[in-house]
Structure 1
Amino acid sequence: MKTFVNLVLGLFIVKAIVAAPSRQVRQTPGRYDASNYDVDLEKLNFEDQDIYEYEDELTIDEPQIEIGTLTPPVGEPLLPDEEVPLKPHTPVQSTGGSGVLGPDAQGDLPTCLLCTCLGGSVYCDDVKLETVPPLPKETTHFYARYNKIKKIHKSDFAEMNKLKRIDVTSNQITEIDEDALRSLPQLEELVVRDNKIRQLPELPNTMTLIDVSHNKLGGKGIKNEAFKDMNNLLYLYVTDNSLDHIPLPLPHTLRSLHLQNNNIQMMHEDTFCNLKDINYIRRSLEDVRLDANPINLSRTPQAYICLPRVPTGRLY
């Protein structure tokens, strides 16, 4: 009897095992399963194991976002890139103010379209200018050579506090307003060669180079002591002007003085030297041109004995 009971109980247990559902382990996507790799995790030494863990709920079947293009406006069909027509370039017109391209010039055309602007330099050479065009306030160097400018007005360079050089060679300038240049705080170089200027205006003491050659200054075109306080002046060129005297006093910084082709007939003994100091030597002034003047340099040798070189001119 006992044996029969044990047999029935064993069959019941076997039936229960067979009827039980399969208990396979579901692999969560993204979860690491050590049974699939020949790696002993206990031998790995991670300083921060948290960075290698994945979120249990992470899935890879997220829906993708489709990126398309906007529908072109009605009446404007979208063309392939190679068929898109290019619009003709229209010059920017300005009606006032400095702006990016500078203020207006002649014909309502901005100065920096009419001329060439590079950094602080404005080049307006040979563009048929009749007046100085309005310039950007940041201009440091202005070139307007080979034009038809007839006059420099007081307003042409007003408030140009950074302007260092003006070059208006070969124009038709007959007059420069007295106040046109002297208030420029950084002006250093003025070149007005080949014009018709009769009077040199007052210039700031910051000048280093003045070239007024080939004009019509005559005997009274340069004021007395015009260069006296220019302690930075290095180069002074006044050739071909019918000048009848050497404009004194000359600053001691002067290196080059060109006065050829004038009407200078006399030179004083203290023109370059100091009569009160016989040991005085004017070392910086090495280039003095007095050739093509009706003056005999041999008559006043004391006038240039302090110079490092004898002036160029007639010595007999």
Structure 2
Amino acid sequence: MRTLLNLILEVFVLKLALAVPSRHNPQVELDTYYSANYDVDLGNLNLYNYDDGLTIDEPQIEIGTLPPFVDHFQAPAASLEEEEEEEERPLQPHMPSGGSGVLTDLDTPGGLHTCLQCTCLGSSVYCDDAKQERIPPLPKATTHFYARYNKISKVHKSDFSRMNKLKKIDLTSNQISELDKDSFIDLPALEELVLRENQVSLLPPLPDSMTLIDASHNKLSSRGIQREAFKAMSNLQYLYLADNHIDYIPVPLPDSLRSLHLQNNNIQMIHEDTFCNLKDHNYLRNALEDIRLDGNPVNLSKIPQAYICLPRIPIGGLV
């Protein structure tokens, strides 16, 4: 009787165990469920071993930068009265700070106007191709003045009065036919004068400080050059008088002279003492290496002793 009772109890326990769902393989049940309903193969999906790389002790923190600060403040718009004042305000010329010369010394009447009309850089004034009909007023500190390719017809004494710092004047290619007698003589610092390509027939007296004189392509004759005009110019190095109507070489020439251009004139004779010193047979003029006499009706081969003191024979006709 006890054996039968034990057998019935074991069968009951077995049925009860079969009725409880298994808890040991949920992956098999999920695979079966999703495969049947979604046609998805989840065989390679590990539901319990997925690792996102994060741990509780070391949380991942994203580090970034703050957006740039933008100032959205806008200044209030100018009133109608302020805009009208701005339009009526006169324009001021731009003067570089820390400059020298004319840009900081505009006390000559009209000097500021000239720098607005021409170009002032340092102590130089450039009025090239500016349709000028006369020399404009210059600041007192001007050292170099250029007024090339204009319509200037006359140079007045007042144009350069009290210009004690003026070193160079370039009036190339104007219409100058007249120069006052004292146009340049009172300029103590003047070194270079360029009057080429004008209509000058009379060269006025120049200061002894000259180093360069260029009056080429004018209407100069020998009468238009004062006697011994260049004798006292102990620093004169360049004398250009080409393409004029000069009859003879304007002697005496200073020993400092390095270049003499007299081509295309009317020079017919050269004397033995034109360049050399007849009283001193040992005299040498070593500086004068460039003499142009081509285009003149003179035969250089007739007077070979005239060049014995020169380092080079002049350029010109030898027959």
Structures share a fold, TM > 0.5?
A: yes
Paired position in structure 2 for 1:227 = 230
SS at match of 1:253: coil
* Number of equivalent positions: 231
**Is 1:102–1:111's contact at 8 Å kept on the other side of the alignment?**
no
Please state whether the residue corresponding to 1:306 is helix, strand or coil. Answer: coil
Using structure 1 for the length normalisation, give the TM-score: 0.69
Q: 8 Å contact 1:101–1:113 — kept in the other structure? A: no
Give the gaps of 5 or more residues in structure 2.
1-74, 94-102
Describe the superposition over 1:226-282 as per-residue Cα deviations: whole angstroms up to 9, x where unpaired. 001000000000001111010010000000000000000000000000111112111
Counterparts in 2 of 1:107-118, with a 5 A limit?
110-118=113-121
Q: Corresponding residue for 1:191?
A: 194
- Give the Cα–Cα distance (whole angstroms) in 1 for the partners of residues 316 and 180 of structure 2: 34
Deviations 1:9-45, CA, capped at 9 Å, x for gaps: xxxxxxxxxxxxxxxxxxxxxxxxxxxxxxxxxxxxx
Using the alignment, how far apart are the partners of 1:79 and 1:143 within structure 2?
Answer: 47
Residue in 2 that maps onto 1:241: 244
Q: CA RMSD in A?
A: 2.3
Contact kept in structure 1, 2:106 and 2:112, CA below 8 Å: no
Contact 2:145/2:170 (CA < 8 Å) preserved in 1?
yes
Is the 8 Å Cα contact of residues 105 and 140 (structure 2) preserved in structure 1? Answer: no
Which runs of at least 4 in structure 1 moved beyond 6 Å after TM superposition? none
Partners of 2:139 and 2:233 in 1: CA distance: 28
Matches within 5 A, 1:81-92: 87=86, 90-91=90-91
Aligned to 2:143: 140
1:116–1:309 Cα change, 3 Å = same
- In the alignment, what sits opposite 2:176? 173
Q: Larger % of helix: which?
A: 2
| Paired AA for residue 302 in structure 1 | Q
Residue 308 (structure 2) pairs with residue 310 (structure 1): no
Among all aligned residue pairs of Structure 1 and Structure 2, give the percentage whose two residues are the same amino acid: 64
CA distance in 1 between counterparts of 2:147 and 2:233 reads 25
| Candidates 250, 254, 264, aligned match of 2:253 | 250
Q: Residues 102 and 112 of structure 1 are in contact (CA less than 8 Å); yes or no, is this contact kept in structure 2?
A: no
Aligned counterparts of 2:150 and 2:91: Cα–Cα separation in 1: 23
Matched-pair contact (CA < 8 Å) for 1:239–1:261: yes
Q: Mark the structure with the bigger radius of gyration.
A: 2
Match 1:152 to one of 131, 151, 155 = 155
Supply the distance in 2 between the matched residues of 1:100 and 1:202 (Cα, whole angstroms). 29
In structure 2, how many angstroms separate the alpha carbons of the residues matched to 1:194 and 1:115? 22
Aligned 8 A contact 2:221 2:245 in 1: yes
Segments of structure 1 that go 5 or more residues without pairing to the other structure are 1-76
1:78 equivalent in structure 2: 76
Secondary structure of the residue that 1:113 maps to in structure 2?
Answer: helix
Query: Which aligned pairs between 1:1-316 and structure 2 lie closer than 5 A?
Result: 78-79=76-77, 87=86, 90-91=90-91, 103=108, 110-316=113-319
1:109 Cα offset (Å): 7.5
